[in-house]
Structure 1
Amino acid sequence: MAQYSYPVTNPFQARTVTEPDFDPDLFMDNLYVDFDKVRGEDFINDIYFTLNIDQDTRQLVDVTDEYVKIIFSGHRGCGKTTELKRLHNDLNHPDRYFSVFLSIEEEMEIGSFQPEDFFVWFILKLIESVQQAGIPVGMSGLNDLAKLFFSDKTVEKELKENFQTEVSLETGGGFSLLDWIKFKMVAKGIFAGSNQTSTKIREEIKRNTLDIITKINFALVDIREALKQNGKGRDILFIVDGSEKLKFEMYDYLFVQNSNLLKSLSVNLIAAVPIHAYYLIDRSPVNFTNQVIMPMIKLGDPDSQANRCFKEVISRRIDVDTFFDDGVLDECVRCSGGCMRQLLIIVNGVIKKSLGKKASLETAQLAIRELGRKMYELLDSQHLEALQKPTRQLGDEKVREMLFQLILLKYNGHTKLNPLLTPFVTIPHDGQ
């Protein structure tokens, strides 16, 4: 990724750094803005309490009696990934947890992702994290898994000839730690396509999922003990940053139809899911009792603390006086509805509309109206009918779709129409 000197003054760089999918290191690049005071810390405190972390000392009081699974959700672009990374940085501490951060979008090929791949990447990311920490671990549990995945001679041959990865099965029937690391280096390419290796592993997991989980749990016993002995953490925590780009069916399979599988993993887990999947999971027969939803930020007048925080996000990225006339950034924030992703989309749209020159308020309003019209054109008659109902059931399919598409924004206790749509849709009772 190119290096930028923030706040940027170059119009082409301004266009790039306000793209909603631009992914800088917010903490290293000094782009992070703390929203705790305006969003509230209840959702973070709930997570710490569930993980037995003392609110005052931030220390792990004692390991949890059972391995907890926390479902974490919120609107697209509300800052879930940022908060998960902050949690990881804070909880990954010798007096707390050995935290493993798994980003589905970064590690895996989203278009070809299958539910079975989750368990493969769980294993690979754990091994990579342990290896990076320099912790020697017993290989018996990992060897059992390797024997299931890689003992087939056609797999060994394909890895060598097609993926230039030569691995050797030891007498115990498994890979060495180095072999696992070498496999991880090519795993994204393997699971991106159809080949004998990906087919063999997926079929093995699908056919013997509970046996695979048992072997994973057996491996976790050795790894957990090694981590404690080497002062790397009192227990293991997995933080899984889900992807809005994954097919809805993947979340349905993992968290609803087969939720008992994830709950059987002997590890503490925070799993981020899209908001439309969250309300489906909430209705699952095998309920995840620990659920946290990250609230949207309620904006106020231009001088309110919430609005100032939103403006600071943009002013850290671009030189506002170079690109916006007075009042333009306030208008962008107002129309964001308290959604950070939408704010970036709006600011980026205004920069593009003005072709990188200083944008007037009139130009900004034109760009914002165009964004609203595009969103309006996504609505069908059933969406419009659902919007007009006096009550909105969050479990209804159309309501879930509109939450995911940011047509509806959920604040603490109520939903509200996206402000981009107010010129096109009239709802007398909006804001329930």
Structure 2
Amino acid sequence: MPLPAGDSKYVECREVRGDVEILQDLGKSIRRSRELTCQLYSGYRGTGKTTELLRLKDDLEKKNCFVVYFAADVEDISTQDVQYADILLACTRHLLAHLKQANSKPIADWLSDRLQDLKDLLLTDIKLDKPLTIELQIQQFAKLTTAIRTEPTQRQKIREKVEPHTETLIKALNEFIADAQQKLPNGKTQLVIIADNLDRIVPIFRDNGRSNHEEIFLDRHEQLKALNCHIVYTVPISMIYSRWATDLKDNYGIPKVLPSVMVLYRDGSRYEAGITKLKETIKRRIEPYTDLDLETQIFESKEVLEQLCRMSGGYMRDLIQLAQEAINRTDQLPISAKAVQRAIAEVREVYQRAVEENQWQTLAQVHKTKEIGNDNLHRSLLFSRCLLEYRYLNQKGEKYTWYDVHPLIWELPKFQDALKQSDDT
């Protein structure tokens, strides 16, 4: 689960993530820019992006920004099937809900013009001759986004009704935002939208070879940037590492990526600082419940604990899941090497199922070279977390990025066979 800003369980990992720091990388751009910004933020699902974005929200709010944050997949979109109109409707809904003091007549007028077309889909009984209050507007946009998220049969029908009118909705939203900017509470001076969990949108490839990711973040980039406020969108990591990387940079600025915590150097030697951060993460999670020593009383030895940390690959979600699985297999502390090994085996089996037959050789090649190719095969492996990204700074302060196979995959027979075949050729 993401940690709220200021949570005592949070561990600062900047130094083991290649000097990545969201308050500097995104926050300063928002506060210092003379123009409105639209930025992309990415990373593996479960690597800690939401925790970092909540930190960003808290920091911006302390510095006179009014932040509208929402996790899009909770109430607004189905990650299995997303189009641009879905995101625009979600932004509209949350702006209305957070800025009730603003004049929402432009959006009410837009919605009134659409209600005749949408009334059967919304099952609405609103009288069109009565003004739409802001509460009714929120209610109707909530119905739209809920239907898009949960009802596949209604999803496309709603899009067909809304899509021809997205430009007029953007215009109405900007009129609403202009009024809201004059009425921000408590001395706030800037409006910021953070649309989280768009990185979870599943890639769907069309017959022409292009993906829905490209349709949303490239084809519709002008519309995504069109709202007159600062915006942060999360974006699938596979999109960052595509042939469209320079287009994303030109359209949005350099996308910011939250990598995994480095637990090994490129040559396979132990990276002590990374292991220490992962141990601290586990310690912070259990501190509210016990004061037992982590390395001798919670786990049976330092070596057992560090084995669990290494096998996580520095991927935070797997670190927590491995620890939880080991605890579930323990009736009495300390957690044994056997319990940790069983936990590793359970999660490893999940990764084995995630790898397709034509991907083993690709994994073996990345493991040897620590580099990835710019193709859909490598992007798919990044999206599934079978490949992990790491960053570090050398003594000159230069940043290096490298990739490796998730350590849980290393001992799988098919991966070992692929390595052997790679060596033979």
Global fold match (TM > 0.5): yes
The equivalences for 1:189-200 within 5 A come to 189-191=146-148, 192-193=150-151
Task: Give the 3 Å change call, closer, same or farther, for CA 36–393 of structure 1 in structure 2.
Answer: closer
1:377 is displaced (CA, Å) by 4.1
Secondary structure of the equivalent of 1:99? strand
1:380 is displaced (CA, Å) by 2.9
1:278 maps to what in 2?
A: 240
Q: Deviations over 1:299-344 (max 9, x none)?
A: 3699944323322322233355665322332211111111101111
1:409 is displaced (CA, Å) by 1.0
Q: Deviations over 1:120-144 (max 9, x none)?
A: 110110111113xxxx322332223
Which one has more relative contact order, counting CA pairs under 8 Å at least 6 apart? Answer: 1
1:110 maps to what in 2?
A: 78
1:335 maps to what in 2?
A: 311
Which residue identity lines up with residue 259 of structure 1 in the other structure? H
Which residue identity lines up with residue 34 of structure 1 in the other structure? E
1:11 maps to what in 2?
A: none
Which residue identity lines up with residue 46 of structure 2 in the other structure? G
Whether the 8 Å contact between 1:91 and 1:99 is mirrored in structure 2 is yes
User: Residues of 2 paired with 1:194 and 1:411: CA distance?
Assistant: 38
The equivalences for 1:114-263 within 5 A come to 114-115=82-83, 116-131=85-100, 136-152=101-117, 154-155=119-120, 158-160=123-125, 167=126, 169=128, 175-183=132-140, 186-187=143-144, 189-191=146-148, 192-193=150-151, 201-227=158-184, 230-243=185-198, 245-249=200-204, 250-263=212-225
Given the alignment, which residue of 59, 65, 78 partners 1:97?
Answer: 65
Task: Give the 3 Å change call, closer, same or farther, for CA 38–121 of structure 1 in structure 2.
Answer: same
1:71 maps to what in 2?
A: 40
1:88 maps to what in 2?
A: 57
Task: Give the 3 Å change call, closer, same or farther, for CA 112–307 of structure 1 in structure 2.
Answer: closer
Secondary structure of the equivalent of 1:159? coil
The equivalences for 1:236-385 within 5 A come to 236-243=191-198, 245-249=200-204, 250-280=212-242, 282=245, 284=247, 287-299=251-263, 304-318=272-286, 319=290, 320=294, 324-327=299-302, 328-354=304-330, 358-385=334-361
1:232 is displaced (CA, Å) by 4.3
Alignment: residue pair count: 382
Whether the 8 Å contact between 2:3 and 2:51 is mirrored in structure 1 is no
Task: Give the 3 Å change call, closer, same or farther, for CA 189–260 of structure 1 in structure 2.
Answer: closer
1:245 is displaced (CA, Å) by 4.2
Secondary structure of the equivalent of 1:367? helix
Which residue identity lines up with residue 417 of structure 1 in the other structure? V
2:8 maps to what in 1?
A: 30
1:86 is displaced (CA, Å) by 0.6
Secondary structure of the equivalent of 2:68? strand
User: Residues of 2 paired with 1:283 and 1:303: CA distance?
Assistant: 32
Q: Which runs of 5+ in 1 are unaligned?
A: 1-22, 54-62, 161-166
User: Residues of 2 paired with 1:100 and 1:298: CA distance?
Assistant: 32
Q: Which runs of 5+ in 2 are unaligned?
A: 205-211, 392-400
2:26 maps to what in 1?
A: 47
Whether the 8 Å contact between 2:96 and 2:104 is mirrored in structure 1 is no
User: Residues of 1 paired with 2:67 and 2:363: CA distance?
Assistant: 42
Task: Give the 3 Å change call, closer, same or farther, for CA 85–296 of structure 1 in structure 2.
Answer: same
1:376 is displaced (CA, Å) by 3.1
Provide the TM-score with structure 1 as the length reference: 0.77
Provide the TM-score with structure 2 as the length reference: 0.78
Q: Deviations over 1:268-325 (max 9, x none)?
A: 1111122113224525487332311113222369994432332232223335566532
Which residue identity lines up with residue 319 of structure 2 in the other structure? L
Q: Deviations over 1:11-41 (max 9, x none)?
A: xxxxxxxxxxxx3654576322222344324
Whether the 8 Å contact between 1:170 and 1:176 is mirrored in structure 2 is no
RMSD across aligned positions (CA): 3.3
Task: Give the 3 Å change call, closer, same or farther, for CA 211–381 of structure 1 in structure 2.
Answer: same
User: Residues of 2 paired with 1:422 and 1:127: CA distance?
Assistant: 49
Secondary structure of the equivalent of 1:248? coil
Secondary structure of the equivalent of 1:208? helix
Task: Give the 3 Å change call, closer, same or farther, for CA 80–180 of structure 1 in structure 2.
Answer: same
Percent pairwise identity: 22
Which residue identity lines up with residue 316 of structure 1 in the other structure? R
Whether the 8 Å contact between 1:168 and 1:175 is mirrored in structure 2 is no
2:406 maps to what in 1?
A: 418
